């Protein structure tokens, strides 16, 4: 079997704590369980990376607005935010873990993700 290694796949997941990172990739999708649109952000630096999903829901909007504002994009009522504005932006994140119950098999899962966003 041949396995292709793409750029950035050789990096480890960032350790818990604060890291200054660059947003290197944005992927859009829909959640598997409830069909909620999301975009996944890859935060990366020389030490590693962490990915984080931002769900476009009423509960998820405060985190989305905070992310945009921390990279210098002001959110305004009645205007749309474009995820393309995020790529290449630098900010400081705090990496941590979050546990939840998987809705399909009811097992507890733990994710490493960005839990706080600060302007660099």
State pLDDT tens for residues 47-71. 999 999 999 999 999 999 999 999 9
Task: Compute CA 2 distance to the chain's CA centroid, rounded to the nearest angstrom.
Answer: 30
Q: Which residue has the higher pLDDT, 92 or 107?
A: 92
Instruction: Tell whether the model's pLDDT for residue 22 goes beyond 80.
Output: yes
Mean pLDDT of the chain: 90
**Whole-structure pTM over 0.85, yes or no?**
no
How many Å from the N-terminal Cα to the C-terminal Cα in the chain? 43
Q: What is the pLDDT of residue 2?
A: 75
Domains and CATH numbers, the chain: 17-74+82-119 (2.40.50)
- What 8-state DSSP symbol labels residue 64? H
Contact assessment for residue 41 and residue 86, using Cβ atoms and an 8 Å cutoff? yes
Contact assessment for residue 91 and residue 70, using Cβ atoms and an 8 Å cutoff? yes
Q: Which residues fall within 8 angstroms of residue 79, CB to CB, at 6 or more apart?
A: none
Distance (Å, whole) CA 36 – CA 81: 17
State pLDDT tens for residues 81-95. 999 999 999 999 999
Q: What is the pLDDT of residue 7?
A: 63
Contact assessment for residue 117 and residue 66, using Cβ atoms and an 8 Å cutoff? yes
Task: Compute CA 88 distance to the chain's CA centroid, rounded to the nearest angstrom.
Answer: 14
């Amino acid at each position: 079997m041949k396995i292709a290694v793409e750029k950035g796949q050789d990096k480890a997941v960032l350790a818990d704590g604060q890291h200054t990172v660059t947003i290197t990739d944005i992927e859009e999708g829909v959640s598997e369980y409830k069909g909620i649109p999301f975009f996944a952000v890859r935060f990366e630096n020389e030490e590693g990376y962490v990915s984080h999903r931002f769900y476009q829901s009423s509960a998820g909007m405060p985190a989305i607005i905070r992310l945009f504002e921390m990279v210098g994009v002001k959110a305004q009522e009645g205007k749309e935010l474009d995820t393309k504005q995020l790529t290449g932006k630098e900010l400081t994140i705090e990496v941590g873990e979050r546990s939840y119950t998987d809705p399909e098999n009811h097992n507890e899962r733990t994710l490493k993700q960005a839990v706080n966003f600060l302007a660099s």
